A and B are shown apart, each in its own frame.
Chain A
Amino acid sequence: MTGAQMIIEALKKERIEVIFGYPGGAVIDIYDELYKNPEIKHVLVRHEQGAAHAADGYARSTGKVGVVLVTSGPGSTNTVTGIATAYMDSIPIVVLTGQVPTKLIGNDAFQEVDTTGITRPITKHNFLIKRIEDLPKILKSAFYIASTGRPGPVVVDIPKDIQQAKGEFNYPDEIELRSYNPVYEPHVKQIEKAYSLLEQAERPVLLLGGGVISSGASPEAIKLAELLNLPVTMTLMGLGSFPGEHEQSLGMLGMHGTYYANMAVANCDVLLAVGARFDDRVTGKVDAFAPGAKIIHIDIDPTSIQKNVKVHVPIVADCKRALTRILEIVRRVKKPKRYWKERFKEWWEQIDIWRKRYPLSYKKDPNYIKPQFVIEKLYEFTKGEAIIATEVGQNQMWAAQYYKFKYPRTLITSGGLGTMGFGFPASIGAQIGNPDKLVIDVAGDGSIQMNIQELATAVEQKLPIKIIILNNGYLGMVRQWQGLFYGKRYSQVKFHILPDFVKLAEAYGAVGMKITRPEEVEPVLKKVLNMNSLVILDVHIASEENVFPMVPAGKSTTEMILV
C-alpha cells in the first residue's frame, strides 16, 4: 500500500466522514486517492485558513476531530492562524500537510517551509514523517493525542516521497505512548477537600469554562448547581454549559461580563472553577480577583492550575469525572435541597440585589438599530436552538451577552486567540457537522471581510448559513477602546469603503438583504431565518454603540464601566 493510500485508510479507521482542504503539488498523491474514495467527503475551501477554521468549527460543534489537508509551503503557512486559534481554545483538529521529498528537506526547495518548526509552539504536538514504516503509527498517535487529555491541534507533515513509498499498513486499534498519559481520575482526597469547602461555604460561586464543554460535563455541572443551589457564572468559552436562562445563571463574567457575575465572584468565599484557566480577560487585575475566596480548581491540564491565580484545592482530572465524584459525595451526605436553599439564602438575596441594580441593559433608540436588540430577537426567534458562530469584536461580545446559550456546543467563538475571520468558515464546519441545525454567524463588517472568499465554499456546499452582519462601519471594538481610553482619537478604525454586502452575496449566488430601521428588524430577521439558502443580512446598527459593562484592561473586576 502506498503512503497516500494509508492516509485514506487511516481516515476510514478513524471514522472521519469529512475533511477540509485545498490541493497542491505536495499532496497531489493524496488527492488522487481521495478521487478514488468518494466516501470521504472533501470540502474544497477557497483559502487554507478557511479549511482550518472549518475543521475547528466542525470539531467544536460535534465533539469529533476535525481534519485538514493542505499542500506544503504556502498551503501550510495559510493554516497557521487556524491552528493557533484551535490551540488556544483546546480544539481537536488534525492537520495533514504535504512536504517536499525527504531528500530535498533543508534545501529551500520549491514550496518548502519548516512546517513542524513553524507550528511547534501552536500545536499540542506535531510530527514530520521520515520513514514509511512510521506512517500508520504516527497517524494513529495524531488522532489519539488530538482528542485525549486536554484536546488540541496536531500537525502531521508528510513528504511527497513518503506518500508515494510502499509499505505495510498495520494500523493499531489502540495505542499507548509511554511519555503521554493524561490523568482523568481525580484524587479522592482532593475531591473530599473540595466537598468540605463547599459545605463550609457561605457565599459560593460555580465558575464553568470551556473544559466543561469539551469533557461533556454539562449535565453534571447542572446537577451539582441545582442540588447545592449554587450561583453559576461562565467564561466566554463556557457559555452553553449551563442554560443561560436558568434562574441560577449569572451569565458571563470578566471584561464584558455581567455586573452581578463579577460582583458575585469578587465577594464569594468559595469559588469552584471547572475547566477554566483564569485568562486575564476573566480575572482583570489578578490580585483583586476573588480576594476572599478559597479556590477549588478542576482542570485536566496541570499547567493551568496555579498559573495565574493561587488555588487552594487543585484537582487535576477530567471535569466530568471530577464533578461526578463530588456528586457522589453530595448524594452520600444526603442533605436535602431545602438545606442548601436555606444555607445560601442570604447570599442569593445579595446577588438578587446586584441583579436588580444593574441588569444587562442598553438604551433603546427609535432611530437606530441597536445590536443588542438584534441578538435578543435572534434568541427569541430561534428559541435558543441555533448554533451561533461569531466573529471577533463587539459583535462577539453582544452575541455572548444577549444570546442566552441553552446547550453546550452552540456557541462557536474564538475565545483565546480572538481571531477575526474565524466565525464564517467555522460556521461552514458547524453546518456540515449539523446539517439539521440552524447555523448563524454573528459578524462584524470588518471580520467578515477576512474570510469572505468562503462564501463560494458555502454556496457550493449548499449550506443555508445565515450571516448577520452587525454593520457599524467601524472596527468597533478598537474604536471603543480609542473612545474610552485614547481621547476619542479614532485612528484607522473607520472603513471609508465597504462592499455592498447585498450585491456581494448575490455575486456569490447567495441571498443578500439589508436593513437600516429598527422596525425592520423583526419581520426581516424572521424571514431570513426561515429561508433555506445562504443569506447575508447586512444590519446597519448604531455606529458608535459600545459594549457594556466593561472592566478596563488591568483593572479589578469590580471597577466596571456600566453604561
Chain B
Amino acid sequence: MEEKRHTLSVLVENTPGALARIAGLFSGRGFNIDSLCVAETLDLTLSHLTLVTHGDEFIVEQIIKQLRRLIDVYKVVNVTEEKKYVEREMALIKVRAEKEYREEIFRICEIFRCKIVDVSPRSYIIEVTGDREKLQAVIELLKPIGIKEIARTGTIAIKREKKSP
C-alpha cells in the first residue's frame, strides 16, 4: 500500500502530561513523527498541535483513532484529507556571506521572498517561510554557498474555509 505524508491538526487539553502522552503513543506503537509543532490557541485551556506523519492508509487511520482515544485529545483533523488547507513552515538559515557570495544570496532571497534578519561580516541569517517544497528549494540553493546552521519550526497547518456559502 502507498505511503503518504499526512498533516494532522490536533487540539488537546492544555495539561502537563498531554504532549508526553502523544509522543509516547507514537514511540510505543511504532508510528512515525516527521515533525511536531505545539502552541497555545485562543482558548488557553487547549493547545494546538500540528503533527506530520507518514504511512499507508491503514496506519494513518490507526494513528488518528489512537490519538482520539487519548482522554486529553479533544479533536483530530487530517488536514491532508481536507485538500483545502494552508501549510507553512519557517526556517532560520545561517549561511556564509563573504563578499563574493552576497549577490547570489540577495538574488535567492528576492526570488523566494526571504528576509535577512541578521548580518555579520562572515554570515547572514535568513528567514524563510513557506511550504516544505519552498524551504527545500531555498536550502538546496544555499547549500553550495555554505550553510552553517539551520533551525526549522516544523509544519503548521490550518483548514481553509469554503469559498462559497
Contact = CB atoms under 8 A, between A and B. Distances in A.
A116 B69 contact: no
> Which secondary structure dominates where chain B touches chain A?
helix
Q: Which 5 A-B pairs have the closest CB atoms?
A: A125-B71, A179-B74, A303-B65, A302-B65, A180-B71
A124 B71 contact: yes
Contacts of B16: 128, 130
A303 B62 contact: yes
B78 to A, nearest CB: 15
Contacts of B61: 306
Contacts of A180: 71
Given A145-B71, A179-B72, 8 more contacts: A120-B20, A120-B21, A124-B71, A177-B71, A179-B12, A301-B69, A302-B65, A306-B58
Contacts of A307: 62
Contact of A126 (B17, B28, B58, B62): B17
B128 to A, nearest CB: 36
Contacts of A301: 69
Interface in A79-122: 116-117, 120-121
Contact of A117 (B20, B28, B71, B73): B20
B17 A179 contact: no
B71 A179 contact: yes
A356 interface: no
A120 B18 CA distance: 10
A421 B68 CA distance: 34
B35 interface: no
Interface string A479-509: 0000000000000000000000000000000
Interface string B17-37: 100110010001000000000
B66 interface: yes
A374 to B, nearest CB: 40
B24 A121 contact: yes
B13 interface: yes
B68 to A, nearest CB: 7
Interface residues of A, number: 19
Nearest to B20: A120
A177 B13 CA distance: 10
A357 interface: no
A178 interface: yes
B125 to A, nearest CB: 35
A179 B73 contact: yes
> Which secondary structure dominates where chain A touches chain B?
mixed
19 contacts: A117-B20, A120-B20, A120-B21, A120-B24, A121-B28, A124-B71, A125-B71, A125-B72, A126-B17, A128-B16, A130-B16, A177-B71, A179-B13, A301-B69, A302-B65, A303-B62, A303-B69, A306-B61, A307-B62
Contacts of B69: 301-303
A103 B61 CA distance: 41
B127 to A, nearest CB: 36
Given A302-B65, A306-B58, A120 B74 contact: no
Interface in B41-97: 58, 61-62, 65-66, 68-69, 71-74
A400 B1 CA distance: 39
Contacts of A179: 12-13, 71-74
A303 B66 contact: yes
Interface of B: 12-13, 16-17, 20-21, 24, 28, 58, 61-62, 65-66, 68-69, 71-74
A118 B159 CA distance: 36
Nearest to A120: B24
B64 to A, nearest CB: 9
A179 B47 CA distance: 13
A365 B74 CA distance: 61
Contacts of A121: 24, 28
B113 to A, nearest CB: 39
Interface centre among A117, A125, A303, by most chain B C-beta atoms within 10 angstroms, is A303
A523 to B, nearest CB: 52
A121 B74 CA distance: 19
A120 B71 contact: no
A302 B73 CA distance: 15
Nearest to B21: A120
Interface string A150-182: 000000000000000000000000000111100
A128 B17 contact: yes
Contacts of A125: 71-72
Nearest to B13: A179
Contacts of B71: 124-125, 145, 177, 179-180
Interface string A420-457: 00000000000000000000000000000000000000
Interface centre among B13, B61, B71, B72, by most chain A C-beta atoms within 10 angstroms, is B71
A126 B17 CA distance: 9
A120 B17 contact: yes
Interface centre among B16, B28, B65, by most chain A C-beta atoms within 10 angstroms, is B65
Contacts of B62: 303, 306-307
A410 to B, nearest CB: 30
B68 A302 contact: yes
Nearest to A302: B65
A198 B72 CA distance: 38
B151 to A, nearest CB: 28
A90 B72 CA distance: 19
A176 B81 CA distance: 30
Contacts of B20: 117, 120
A303 B71 CA distance: 14
Nearest to A141: B71
A114 to B, nearest CB: 10
Contacts of B13: 179
A301 B70 CA distance: 11
Nearest to B45: A178
Nearest to A130: B16
Given A303-B62, A303-B66, A306-B58, A178 B17 contact: no
A301 B24 CA distance: 19
A384 B71 CA distance: 39
B15 to A, nearest CB: 9
B108 to A, nearest CB: 45
A175 to B, nearest CB: 12
Contacts of A124: 71
Contacts of A178: 74
A373 B68 CA distance: 48
A124 B82 CA distance: 30
